[in-house]
Structure 1
């Protein structure tokens, strides 16, 4: 099927996702690692959920937040990757306008939830290292539930304007999206008229919400580093710092591709399109794949439980 670059519609009933422009001939080959990523993400995150559920010693705030992270990653990757594979395998490029808005909402909402969970996990690490004797008294199950509820509600409220703003614009140029999924700024670029409100809101959400999470995480780790340097021996400092290693790795994997992708969309006019699309995919695909691997390898309790299950089998 061929798609023209222009249409005569006022508002489209469908959008057309182009996959990875410039690499259409390689879509089948690209689908192989993408499919493998999806399988790894499903197995890894469901394994984390199963281990935490079946191991009573892991029923602690850090692992509750880790379960939230696993569920968030599952929703995030499932909202995008099946449609990508349909494009790569069956050339199923069309997506209903309402389905596009729903996908757009889920991507931004659960990316925001992930950011909030990472901030909550930084709080848990701060309390565990700076106030170890009061950890269970401060981070009670009730407080963990309240933090989780606030993170979810904040993310839903922050993400709801995205589809509402996209719906109000007129689309009179093209319905071709140079992506394998519906992303806010990619859809807004197809609209006619003045769409600065959407652009400004996208920047506000990026720096005002995710930016606040990053600042909170940075402050938490500044306090953690100060507490680590007060420890009497080098071995104690190294051991304490390594307890934060998995969380720091997950933070880097999530925030750097997210920031890079958002800034390229707005300011990288001369950046190769297929490279930009691949980088944009990474901020949605890498965290769901690598988070369970990182926590499975670096967290002693999870690693021990997983080895125990494998030994029993």
Structure 2
């Protein structure tokens, strides 16, 4: 803790859902533990499939690989602590540890946002400029884009944490959230939060709405291109290649935009409901995405079908 920020708080306490009765702590911790296991198992399966099948070493799957890594790291950053809070009543987190978790939360969120932009770019070039696709989008360019996403997500996340870290914290240390994030921490500061909250909101909107603006543009262009296809079967086949990505993008962006905008235009709802929505958009995509990858991407689906058939033959 910096001695110059006049903070008397040495640790924070993660409350989680403030309205939750103690008799439900065991149930909630069990559910969160099962969610964490599902996230790990599903995403690790995708990693294993990618590592063992060269047919998946294509641009789109390298993007998916980075999304899988980001989902695993985000879930590992947030879930173990809130599980421990309800399972073992261990909700305390050190001052530095809370800000480090805050950095990781916003960092992995920004990384995912940039990766979804790259995913939309891949589909945009593939459908709108199919003849140029092999030249524009290849493994080398995708590697550069993916590394860029991980690098670009660092400065805004670090800036948010640095500004929040040096605020004075001298009163309450209870965080009404399941993990440390910018809003839940800075609301505890013994100073006017408005200047810091506004700058953090602008950064968050740039990290969210900047990629989202291009994603909307790219898919509008894709729809226009699809409508120009003469055959209905061709239109459906082309759209099916984007359906998985659209589901992933919708799961990530729609709830986030709702929470960010509602808190800044005066829409009020209970703290517990707000936290439930935040946990849904934080944990549902990492849990659902592996199913989307496996069911909506042709190569992975074929690999799983072949393995299932081999298993049936061995059993017989």
Please classify the TM superposition score into its range, dividing by the shorter chain length.
over 0.9
Q: In the superposition, relative to structure 1, how do residues 73 and 30 fare at CA in structure 2: closer, same or farther (>3 Å)?
A: same
Equivalent residue, structure 1, for 2:222: 224
User: Per the alignment, in what secondary structure is the counterpart of residue 181 of structure 1?
Assistant: coil
Identify the range of structure 1 (232-241 vs 29-38) with the bigger mean alpha-carbon deviation.
Answer: 29-38
Cα distance between partner residues in 2 of 1:133 and 1:164: 46
Which of 190, 196, 199 is residue 197 of structure 2 equivalent to? 199
Equivalent residue, structure 1, for 2:211: 213
Q: Does 1:300 align with 2:298?
A: yes
Q: How far did residue 301 of structure 1 move? A: 1.1
User: Per the alignment, in what secondary structure is the counterpart of residue 180 of structure 2?
Assistant: coil
The count of residues paired between Structure 1 and Structure 2 equals 305
Which of 10, 14, 19 is residue 13 of structure 1 equivalent to? 10
Cα distance between partner residues in 1 of 2:262 and 2:25: 23
Which of 59, 62, 65 is residue 64 of structure 1 equivalent to? 62
Which of 222, 231, 236 is residue 234 of structure 2 equivalent to? 236
Equivalent residue, structure 1, for 2:140: 142
Cα distance between partner residues in 1 of 2:137 and 2:263: 39
Equivalent residue, structure 2, for 1:82: 80
Identify the range of structure 1 (95-104 vs 191-200) with the bigger mean alpha-carbon deviation.
Answer: 191-200
Q: Does 1:24 align with 2:21?
A: yes
Contact 2:262–2:268 (8 Å) recurs in 1: no
Structure 1-normalised TM-score?
0.93
Cα distance between partner residues in 1 of 2:266 and 2:300: 41
Which of 90, 93, 98 is residue 92 of structure 1 equivalent to? 90
Q: Structure 1, unaligned stretches of length 5 or more?
A: 1-8
Contact 1:18–1:176 (8 Å) recurs in 2: yes
Q: How far did residue 13 of structure 1 move? A: 1.1
Identify the range of structure 1 (194-203 vs 13-22) with the bigger mean alpha-carbon deviation.
Answer: 194-203
Q: Does 1:157 align with 2:175?
A: no
Cα distance between partner residues in 2 of 1:47 and 1:306: 11
Equivalent residue, structure 1, for 2:3: none
Q: In the superposition, relative to structure 1, how do residues 101 and 17 fare at CA in structure 2: closer, same or farther (>3 Å)?
A: same
Deviation string, structure 1 residues 71-112 (Cα, Å, up to 9, x no partner): 000001110001111011001010001110111000000000
Structure 2-normalised TM-score?
0.92
Cα distance between partner residues in 2 of 1:269 and 1:178: 18
User: Per the alignment, in what secondary structure is the counterpart of residue 244 of structure 1?
Assistant: helix
Which of 283, 286, 309 is residue 285 of structure 1 equivalent to? 283
Q: In the superposition, relative to structure 1, how do residues 296 and 277 fare at CA in structure 2: closer, same or farther (>3 Å)?
A: same
User: Per the alignment, in what secondary structure is the counterpart of residue 161 of structure 2?
Assistant: helix
Query: What RMSD in Å do the two structures reach over aligned CA positions?
Result: 1.5
Q: How far did residue 264 of structure 1 move? A: 4.3
Cα distance between partner residues in 2 of 1:259 and 1:27: 29
User: Per the alignment, in what secondary structure is the counterpart of residue 18 of structure 2?
Assistant: coil
Equivalent residue, structure 2, for 1:34: 32
Equivalent residue, structure 1, for 2:314: none
User: Per the alignment, in what secondary structure is the counterpart of residue 237 of structure 1?
Assistant: helix
User: Per the alignment, in what secondary structure is the counterpart of residue 16 of structure 1?
Assistant: strand
Q: How far did residue 166 of structure 1 move? A: 1.4
